[in-house]
Amino acid sequence: MNLKIKKFEKGFTLIELLVVVAIIGILSSITMASLNSARAKARDARRMSDLSQIRNALYMYFDKYGNWMEAGSGCGYNGDGNGWFNIVGGIYLKAMSQCLIDNNFTGGEIIDPTGGKSSSPSTGFSYMKYSCNSPTVTYIYAKLEGKPQSSTAVDGTCCPDCDSSYGMNYYVSIK
């Protein structure tokens, strides 16, 4: 009598494969969420560093010209040294960042990590600068991703509505 024994090939069932694919999908989504959070924190750290660089450049500007790039500087909105930091054209005679570059106070344009040059609360990120006259205090503003939006984030500064109008929620003051 000749018996043939059938060999069963070992492999994965469809259910086992689907379970593995589902587990990999869950793990990758968790990893991506963590990665996106880390990227946002890195951009916020860069924004804070950029504001420190702008502050240092404005100190050098002050040492040379005796003001914080204010009215009559020819930079920013109507040449008064206020408004969006990187905008040029129209009523922005010269970008404030370009004024700092032209005087060798910075090595290049300081711009938000997203590349934004102007902003609204819902569309993007950029830097702003405003000076108050009595007493003379200058503020540099940014919108951080990791800090919650608030309608009181910049109250008491030269631009108290920059939080509600433009989404700014972080600032550095220069006195």
* pLDDT tens-digit series, residues 54-97: 999 999 999 999 888 988 889 999 999 999 999 888 899 899 99
pTM of the model: 0.80
129 belongs to a structural domain: yes
Question: pLDDT tens digits for 94-141?
Answer: 999 999 999 999 999 999 998 888 766 556 789 999 988 767 899 999
Supply the DSSP string of the chain, one letter for each residue: --PPPPPPPP---HHHHHHHHHHHHHHHHHHHHHHHHHHHHHHHHHHHHHHHHHHHHHHHHHHHHSSSS-TTSSBSBTTBS-EESS--BTTB-S-HHHHHHHTTSSSS----TT--SS--TTT----EEEEEETTEEEEEEE--SSS---TTTTTTSS-TTHHHHH---EEEEE-
56 belongs to a structural domain: yes
Q: Are 128 and 166 in contact (CB under 8 A)?
A: yes
108 belongs to a structural domain: yes
Number of domains in the chain: 1
pLDDT band at 21 (very low <50, low <70, confident <90, very high): very high
Q: Is 166 left (phi over 0), alpha (psi -120 to 50) or beta?
A: alpha
110 belongs to a structural domain: yes
158 belongs to a structural domain: yes
13 belongs to a structural domain: no
Question: pLDDT tens digits for 150-174?
Answer: 888 888 898 888 888 888 999 999 9
Burial classification of residue 86, based on how many CB atoms lie within 10 Å of its CB (0-12 exposed, 13-18 middle, 19 or more buried): buried
Give the domain range for residue 160.
38-174
32 belongs to a structural domain: no
Task: Look at residue 42 in the predicted model and tell me its pLDDT.
Answer: 95
130 belongs to a structural domain: yes
Distance CA 27, CA 44 (A): 26
